[in-house]
Amino acid sequence: MASFRYQARNRQGESFTGTVDAATIAEAARIVRGRGLWVTQVEVPEVRRQTGWRQILERPRKDEGILLLSQLSALMEAGLPLHEALRTLADDGGGSTGRPVKSTDVTSEAALSDDDLFIRAFSARRRLTPDSRRKRKNKLADGLYREVARGVPFSAALSRDPQLFPPVMTAMAAAGEESGRLTEILADLAKSARQSAQEREKTKSLLLYPVILLVTVLAVTTFMSLFVLPVFASILAESGMALPLPTRILLAFAGVLGGSGGLILPIGVLVLTLTFAALYRRSESVRFAVGRLTLTLPLFGKVLLYRDWSNVLRTLGRLLASGIPLQRALDLAAGTAANCVIRQDIRRARESVQSGRTLTSALAASTFLPPIVRRLIFAGEQAGDLETMLSQASAYCSRLALTRTERLQTLIEPAMVFFIGGLVFFFVLALILPLLTLMDSVT
């Protein structure tokens, strides 16, 4: 239950203020009227906002928002109304309203094993304890419950936090409220968000292994060049023998790092990075050039291309199935694309659709749309079942992205092994060849 602040008057016109615990504003007003008072105002007290690091640490994460939508749809499918489902989630495990969880409550987290495994994976990666995750989720549910108890529509309550619930989610929730299909749409939203998050994690995992190896190689190379080779070079210099090419290359690299280059090099890299970041943020042409370059990268570019189109097509199909017009759906679906080039193609398609063209002809100008996706969209428009064909096209792009990701993972591991082996061989040559030459000269 929530605490409501009220203002009321009695028959003599005296004013009274106070708080009352109730499930909704209407129930709170009934309780106050039962005390013989005329209610003039009932509202939910504003929760004091935290600032600083505590606010950052206690802010709900996106994966916790996904779990909240999954559990909320499960509770509503069990027959609970929206405000009761939110209150149950807010009280789960001892939320802010303080009602203990009974054994008769709907334990949606136990019922949703897939969601629980998903959220536990994210919690383990971020070193979050189940208690801290549950507290943030309860706090999020409590905030939504307070908004709904005020009479605010659920979609408007979601829109208060656009980072956690983007405009696509709020638009679909609003369509669900209007059509009476909010429970089904919440389940679709949670499923779609979970799929997108899992695809992002797979892409990050694909990059993690080579990045760790490259950083390790750079650290080892720097250590060898700064602390091992100079001592070794002084011994060889005393012998007066000519050094082989691998040894001279490493000594030259050590000389750069040991001299002024050791300070100039990192500063130069930092300046170039900051300059590029500023240009990327301010210049639209730079962003589009980087976007096109990213999509045309060998092997990896196709993974990003298919993943972006999978997200866009999945979102577009769900928006249309929710009853949102095609023009508005295209505008919202464009925001789910990570690449600015694909976003621009979708927005240009929206303008073409607005002028009366079909979706197939509007997307024909996109150079990065897979041909089979265009044919599936055309078939959907001809059959009058565009939503189904968009879902199939999204599943096709998702399968291609997954296949290419697995293929890249298979190729990256032996490629990195060969790279590390070649680097080790180079170091061995740089150290062993001078020793062999020195031993030959001594004998």
Give the separation between CA 1 and CA 20, rounded to whole angstroms.
10
Dihedral angle at the C-alpha atoms of 301, 304, 306, 309, nearest 10 degrees? -130
Identify the bridge partners of residue 2 per DSSP, sorted by sequence position. 22
Helix (H, G, I), strand (E, B) or coil at 119: helix
Look at 194 and 394; give whichever has higher pLDDT.
394
| Spacing of C-alpha 400 from chain mean position | 21
CA angle at 194 for the pair 189 and 196, rounded to the nearest 5°: 95
Contacts 24+ apart (CB under 8 A), 385-388: 386/317, 386/320, 386/359, 387/317, 387/320, 387/321, 388/317
Binning pLDDT at 50, 70 and 90, where does residue 133 land?
low
Residue 106 pLDDT > 80, yes or no?
no
- The 10 Å CB-count burial string (b at 16+, else e) for 311-346 is bbbbbbbbbbbbebebeebbbbbbebbbbebbbbbb
Give the separation between CA 187 and CA 69, rounded to whole angstroms.
7
Model pLDDT for residues 24-66, shown as the tens digit of each residue: 677 777 888 888 887 777 776 554 444 444 444 456 677 777 7
Helix (H, G, I), strand (E, B) or coil at 366: coil
Binning pLDDT at 50, 70 and 90, where does residue 319 land?
confident
For 279, the token pair is 């240009």
For 171, the token pair is 């638009």
| pLDDT confidence of residue 96 | 39
Residue 151 phi/psi, 5° resolution?
Answer: 105, 5
**Mind giving me the DSSP string for 211-254?**
HHHHHHHHHHHHHIIIIIHHHHHHHHHHHTPPPPHHHHHHHHHH
Give the separation between CA 256 and CA 250, rounded to whole angstroms.
10
Helix (H) or strand (E) holding 198: helix 182-223
| CA-based nearest residue to 370, from 291, 319, 329, 313 | 313
Decide: 39 and 33 in contact? Cβ < 8 Å. yes
Find the mean pLDDT for residues 346-368: 89
Q: Which of 26-30, 110-114, 132-136, 306-310 has maximum average pLDDT?
A: 306-310
Count of CB atoms situated within 10 Å of the CB of 194: 19
Residue 21 pLDDT > 80, yes or no?
no
Helix (H, G, I), strand (E, B) or coil at 5: strand
Binning pLDDT at 50, 70 and 90, where does residue 86 land?
confident
Level-2 CATH architecture, domain 205-443: Up-down Bundle (1.20)
Look at 79 and 45; give whichever has higher pLDDT.
79
| pLDDT confidence of residue 93 | 47
Identify the burial level of 281 via C-beta atoms within 10 angstroms of its C-beta, where 0-12 means exposed, 13-18 middle and 19 or more buried: exposed
Model pLDDT for residues 321-332, shown as the tens digit of each residue: 888 889 888 988
**Mind giving me the DSSP string for 307-331?**
HHHHHHHHHHHHHHHTT--HHHHHH
Give the separation between CA 313 and CA 390, rounded to whole angstroms.
6
Binning pLDDT at 50, 70 and 90, where does residue 107 land?
very low
CB under 8 Å to 86, separation ≥6 — which residues?
72, 141, 142, 144, 145, 148
Look at 345 and 67; give whichever has higher pLDDT.
345
Model pLDDT for residues 426-441, shown as the tens digit of each residue: 888 877 877 777 777 6
Look at 129 and 29; give whichever has higher pLDDT.
29
Binning pLDDT at 50, 70 and 90, where does residue 293 land?
very high
Decide: 81 and 74 in contact? Cβ < 8 Å. no
Give the separation between CA 20 and CA 8, rounded to whole angstroms.
12
Find the mean pLDDT for residues 11-25: 74
Binning pLDDT at 50, 70 and 90, where does residue 3 land?
low
Helix (H, G, I), strand (E, B) or coil at 17: strand
| Spacing of C-alpha 130 from chain mean position | 20
Decide: 40 and 8 in contact? Cβ < 8 Å. yes
Share of the chain above pLDDT 70, in %: 81
| pLDDT confidence of residue 289 | 92
Find the mean pLDDT for residues 348-363: 90
Identify the burial level of 63 via C-beta atoms within 10 angstroms of its C-beta, where 0-12 means exposed, 13-18 middle and 19 or more buried: buried
Residue 99 pLDDT > 60, yes or no?
no
| pLDDT confidence of residue 71 | 86
Choice among 48-52, 150-154, 326-330, 397-401 with the minimum mean pLDDT: 48-52
Average pLDDT, the chain: 77
| CA-based nearest residue to 81, from 68, 90, 72 | 72
Residue 173 pLDDT > 70, yes or no?
yes
| pLDDT confidence of residue 408 | 84
Helix (H, G, I), strand (E, B) or coil at 38: strand
The position carrying tokens 């956690």 is 164
| pLDDT confidence of residue 299 | 79
| CA-based nearest residue to 304, from 411, 199, 195 | 199
Choice among 130-139, 189-198, 213-222, 262-271 with the minimum mean pLDDT: 130-139
